[in-house]
Amino acid sequence: MPQLKETSSGIRRDHRALVDSTNAAALAEARKGWRAPLWVTADRQEVGRGRQGRRWVSEPGNLYASLLLIDPAPPHALPQLGLVAAVALARAIEAAGPLSEPVGLKWPNDAIVAGKKLSGMLLEAEVVDDHTTATVIGIGVNVVSAPEGLAYPTASTSALGGVADPEVLFAALDVTLADALDEWARGEGFADIRRHWLERAVGLGGPLKVRLGDDMITGIFRDLDTNGHLILEAEDGTLSTIAAGDVFFPDWPSGEDR
C-alpha cells in the first residue's frame, strides 16, 4: 500500500476513485496484514452493499466510507458498534452543516431527518489469518443525491439545507466517530452510548412494524436493552427483544429496506 495520509483523528486514510465496495476493500487490507485502524473511502462503489446483502446505490457526490478496526472489543460487544457509529454519524451530519431539525436515529443505525432516510450502515467482522478479528463499519450517506422509487422516503443532506460536500462530512465523521469510540471504551461505556442513541430515537413510545424474515410484527417501541436490542411491546403487553430486523414507521410501506 502506498504512503497514506493521516486524518485529523490520527487514522490512516486510503481514498480511491472506484471500488467494488469500501467494506470489501477494507477487509482485503486486513487479510493482507494491515493491523491498525484504517479508513477506506471512495468516490463511487460498483457493488456497494447494504444490510441483508441488499445493493447500496452509489452515485458520485455521496459519502462512501468504511472504518477498519482490529480487535476493537470482546466478541459480545461488537454488535454495539452499529449504535456507536450511528450516534457519531448524527453528530457529524449536524456539525458539517445546518439542518432544519436535529438528526434522528431509526433502529439500529439509520440517520433520519424530517421522516426521510439519509444513510445506511453495514457492520462486518472477519477472523483473519493470525486469529485477529477485523471489524469494518461501512457508512453511506446521501449528500448530493438520494435514490428514488424505494419503499420508504429518502433525502440528501444538501436537499435539507445541510452539508453538500462529502469531504466536509467525512472530516466531521472522522472526529465524531473517534470520540464516540473513545466514549464507548471497548464496550465499557456502552451505557452512555445507549443513552445518547435514545435521545435521538425516532418513534420511541410509538408504534413500529418490524420485519423478521418473512414475518412482520407490530408493537410499541419501548426501549433498548443493555445490549442495544429493540424492545417492542405487543398489544397484549408482551415484551419482545429483537436483535436484528427491518424497522418501518406506520406511514412507511413495508417493502424492501435498503
Per-residue confidence band for 151, with pLDDT thresholds at 50, 70 and 90: confident
Taking the model in full, what pTM does it have? 0.92
- CA 112 to CA 201: how far, in whole Å? 9
Summarize the confidence of residues 77-81 as an average pLDDT. Answer: 96
Q: Please tell me the predicted confidence (pLDDT) of residue 255.
A: 46
Residue 106 phi, psi dihedral angles, 5° rounding: -100, 130
Domains 5-199 and 207-248 share a fold: no
pLDDT digits (tens, 9 = 90+) for 229-253: 999 999 999 999 999 998 988 876 6
Q: Where are the domains of the chain?
A: 5-199, 207-248
pLDDT digits (tens, 9 = 90+) for 176-218: 999 999 999 999 999 999 999 999 999 999 999 999 888 899 9
Q: Please tell me the predicted confidence (pLDDT) of residue 3.
A: 72
Q: Are 116 and 153 in contact (CB under 8 A)?
A: yes
Q: Please tell me the predicted confidence (pLDDT) of residue 169.
A: 99
Question: What topology is assigned to 207-248 in CATH?
Answer: SH3 type barrels. (2.30.30)
pLDDT digits (tens, 9 = 90+) for 106-130: 999 999 999 999 999 999 999 998 7
Q: Please tell me the predicted confidence (pLDDT) of residue 254.
A: 53
Domain 5-199 coded CATH 3.40.47.10: no
pLDDT digits (tens, 9 = 90+) for 15-62: 999 999 999 999 999 999 999 999 999 999 987 555 444 555 678 999
Summarize the confidence of residues 132-148 as an average pLDDT. Answer: 96
Residue pointed to by grid coordinates 471504551: 185
Q: Please tell me the predicted confidence (pLDDT) of residue 214.
A: 87
Per-residue confidence band for 258, with pLDDT thresholds at 50, 70 and 90: very low
